Amino acid sequence: MDLVEMPDPLKEIVKSVLVERRADGVLGLRAYEGGIIQPYVFEAPGRVEALVTEPKWLLAKTAMSILRSSREGYRLAVISRGCDERALTELVKRNQIEKGRLLTIGIACSAEQASVCLCERPYPENLAAGEPVAGVDPFQDKAVQELLTGDGPARMEKWAKLLKRCIKCYGCRNSCPICVCTPCKLEDEVWVERGVIPAEMMAFHLIRAFHLADTCVACKACQEACPVNIPLFALQISMREALKTTYGYEAGLDPERRSPLLYDLYKEPGKGRVLPDWINTLGKDNES
């Protein structure tokens, strides 16, 4: 039986981007015969029929590396979920991607995906296709609450137990769309002892988390890439929340506004000079 397919608005948009030469290629996911799905740069409009949007597969970092190695002037469009768009915005802000060479084609996530990701903004600012669904408050999640609230020493013990599993695959760093420093502090022997696991909690995990304090877009890629299921997402969201409540700042939203941690703290709201509550999140009995 032949099914007459309705024209898919996203595919139509992608085709027109290519036909009108607004981009030389569109980075998205392609379905192959047999059910294989993998990233693909669509350059021929005829191939676009094979475009799919599931599973969730962050493409921002791949987009960055494609743009870095492609010929001068090559313009790339990226099929972007909300988190991908925010990550790309951050990469542009931090001069990792040339703004004029990037176009985003925003898609909305499903309600199911939003609840898996505990995503506050499961949609991009520039939405091209799909219906946006409501965000989820990660701090209402029971597992997150257990990791971030309650008795300090007990929480410390819980985190120590989880972080002790680290096998130092560097997957959290590799998969993070905005973890782009070279050289990377985690590869510096001054901070992180080489050739042994687990990676040390303070030196490895907290350096990594704090380096992303004002850039993390809450995409959860770090946690999804962790082979030993360390809840890395929960390490980041407290800092995101602190920036939000203290400075009204959220990474990846406003392309023009720079991070308050980098840029002119004095012009930011006065609360910045007061120690916020979250500083104490790991408990006062740290010395024990």
Binding site for another protein (CB under 8 A): 25, 32-41, 43, 55-57, 62, 65-66, 69-71, 74, 164-165, 167-171, 174-175, 187, 194-195, 197-198, 224-229
Rounded to a whole number of angstroms, the minimum distance from the CB of residue 28 to another protein is 11
Using DSSP bridges, classify how beta strands 127-129 and 37-42 pair: parallel, antiparallel or unpaired. unpaired
For residues 40 and 86, what is the distance between their CA atoms, to the nearest angstrom?
21
Rounded to a whole number of angstroms, the minimum distance from the CB of residue 220 to another protein is 11
Tokens 């070279």 -> residue: 182
Number of Cβ within 10 Å of residue 151's Cβ equals 11
Chain centre to alpha carbon of residue 217:
5
Determine contact, residues 189/204, Cβ cutoff 8 Å: no
Determine contact, residues 69/79, Cβ cutoff 8 Å: no
**Residue 1 or 36 with smaller CB distance to another protein:** 36
For residues 89 and 254, what is the distance between their CA atoms, to the nearest angstrom?
8
**Residue 178 or 243 with smaller CB distance to another protein:** 178
Beta bridge partners of 87: none
Rounded to a whole number of angstroms, the minimum distance from the CB of residue 119 to another protein is 17
CA-closest candidate to residue 77, choices 132, 16, 36, 130: 16
**Residue 59 or 239 with smaller CB distance to another protein:** 59
**Residue 198 or 283 with smaller CB distance to another protein:** 198
For residues 108 and 249, what is the distance between their CA atoms, to the nearest angstrom?
22
Tell me the C-alpha to C-alpha distance, in Å, between residue 86 and each of 50, 107, 217, 273: 26, 12, 6, 27
Rounded to a whole number of angstroms, the minimum distance from the CB of residue 225 to another protein is 6
Rounded to a whole number of angstroms, the minimum distance from the CB of residue 241 to another protein is 25
**Residue 73 or 270 with smaller CB distance to another protein:** 73
Q: Which two tokens stand for residue 245?
A: 């409540």
**Residue 44 or 279 with smaller CB distance to another protein:** 44
